[in-house]
Structure 1
Amino acid sequence: MSLKKATLLIILILLIDQISKIYIKTHFALNDKTIIFDWFQIAFVENEGMAWGTKLSDFITFMSDRTAKVCLTVFRILAVIGIAYWLKKSIKNAGSKTLIFAISLILAGAVGNIIDSVFYGVLFDSSSGQVASFLPEQGYDTLFHGKVVDMLHFPIWSGYLPDWIPYFGGKSFSFFDPVFNIADMAISTGIGILIVFNKRVFTVSEKPKTTVEA
């Protein structure tokens, strides 16, 4: 895959991700839900920290939530720079199409969520109890303190587990609880490809290219 095609893929994913998030922010109040099917819902939540709703300050107790959020966002930006370099190097060295595709997905997803974290605090006002406005006079927070917008929920099954299951038996259980977004899907898919297709992904051409293909 050429650099041009990889760039187009990244832009496409970013557009879908941001359009869906802006639509949710400007049409749903926080915690609003629309049931599409029994197993698929649009449920608007905002993520202030890392995956699964955790925060960096949960692990570094001496750090305030706001400081930890800025540190996490800066770390993500540095990670994106590293992933972008990995993508460019893989294309230059004629890496497999599968590898370049996977890296492009991860990069697009990471950038998509960084946009929320960096800019959404000033681009929107609060969604609590109301539908947010785009480009208000004053946003709900400052730069680098935005919240990531999630909306895709797949409550495929919920109920009580059989008593014979050790430890978890007889307890209420639901699958799948996390709410996520297009950027999360891109990152998860890219990582999944790297794991499942490991041998194909890291196959190197016999004649590496010396220049980046445009």
Structure 2
Amino acid sequence: MSLKKASIIIIIILLIDQISKIYVKTHFVIGEDVTVFSWFKIAFVENDGMAWGTKLSDFFTFISDKSAKLILTLFRIFAVTGIGFWLVDVVKKKRSKTLIFAIAIIFAGALGNILDSVFYGILFSDSHMEVATFLPEEGGYAGVFYGDVVDMLHFPIWSGQLPEWLPFVGGKTFSFFDPVFNVADVAISTGIGILIVFNRKAFKEEETKTELPDLESHNNLV
């Protein structure tokens, strides 16, 4: 796969991700949801931390929430830069299409969430109790690097009471699937899943190249 094709995939994912986020941000207030199907809702929430709203300050209590947010955003920028270099490298070395595709969608997802963290704070007004406006005259709800990631995809597939006979959790109310996420998260998860499930196929060409010296040595011996 060429870098041009990989770039097209990245742009498509970024467009879908950002359009969906901007639409929700400018049409919903935080906590508002719309039922599309019984098992799927558009539910607007904002995440100022990591997965499931976890923050660095939850683990390191000596770090303030603001500092934790900045560290997380800078780490995301560092990580996506590394993924970008990795993508260019595997394209130049003509690795498998599976590997290039997986890295491309991971890069697109990571970049999509970084755009929220870096720019949304200065581009939009606050979404609490009112619908946010784009480029408000009074300024955004946060500074550069302090924006929150917009999430909206919610799949409450099942909820109910667990059987009493189950150890530890029997009789408790359980719901699947509680997390709310976005298109960028889907891209990242899908890319990682491809690398795990199709690991041998993704890294096939790298394995082949490592075997070539052994084959050449064998031919010389013969």
Q: TM-score, normalised by structure 2?
A: 0.92
Structure 1 equivalent of residue 23 of structure 2: 23
Structure 1 equivalent of residue 147 of structure 2: 146
Q: Distance in 2 between matches of 1:81 and 1:145?
A: 19
Structure 2 equivalent of residue 200 of structure 1: 201
**Structure 1: runs of 5 or more not aligned:** 209-214
Structure 1 equivalent of residue 92 of structure 2: 92
Deviations 1:73-115 (A, max 9, x none): 1011010111011111111111110000000010000000000
Q: 1:59: how far off?
A: 1.2
Instruction: Tell me, yes or no, if structure 1 residue 162 matches structure 2 residue 189.
Output: no
The structure whose residues are more often helix, as a share, is 2
Against the structure 1 CA distance between its residues 7 and 101, is the aligned structure 2 distance closer, same or farther, given a 3 Å change threshold?
same
Structure 2 equivalent of residue 35 of structure 1: 35
Structure 2 equivalent of residue 189 of structure 1: 190
Structure 2 equivalent of residue 104 of structure 1: 104
Structure 2 equivalent of residue 212 of structure 1: none
Task: Output the aligned Cα RMSD.
Answer: 1.2
Q: 1:43: how far off?
A: 0.2
Q: 1:20: how far off?
A: 0.4
Deviations 1:139-188 (A, max 9, x none): 11111110000000000000011111111111000000000000000000
Deviations 1:20-60 (A, max 9, x none): 00000100011110000100000000001000111011112
Q: 1:207: how far off?
A: 7.3
Structure 2 equivalent of residue 177 of structure 1: 178
**Structure 2: runs of 5 or more not aligned:** 211-222
- Structure with higher Rg: it is 2
Report the more deviating stretch, 2-11 or 198-207: 198-207
Q: Relative contact order: is structure 1 or structure 2 higher (C-alpha 8 Å, sep ≥ 6)?
A: 1
1:164 maps to amino acid: W
Q: Distance in 1 between matches of 2:102 and 2:209?
A: 22
Structure 2 equivalent of residue 57 of structure 1: 57
Runs of 4+ with >4 A deviation: 205-208
2:192 maps to amino acid: I
Structure 2 equivalent of residue 10 of structure 1: 10
Q: What secondary structure sits across from 1:35 in the alignment? A: strand
Structure 2 equivalent of residue 116 of structure 1: 116
1:132 maps to amino acid: A
Q: Distance in 2 between matches of 1:75 and 1:29?
A: 29
Q: Distance in 2 between matches of 1:119 and 1:151?
A: 18
1:185 maps to amino acid: V
Q: What secondary structure sits across from 1:177 in the alignment? A: coil
Structure 2 equivalent of residue 211 of structure 1: none
2:58 maps to amino acid: D
Q: 1:117: how far off?
A: 0.4
Q: TM-score, normalised by structure 1?
A: 0.95
Q: Distance in 2 between matches of 1:207 and 1:88?
A: 19
1:140 maps to amino acid: Y
Q: Distance in 1 between matches of 2:100 and 2:170?
A: 43
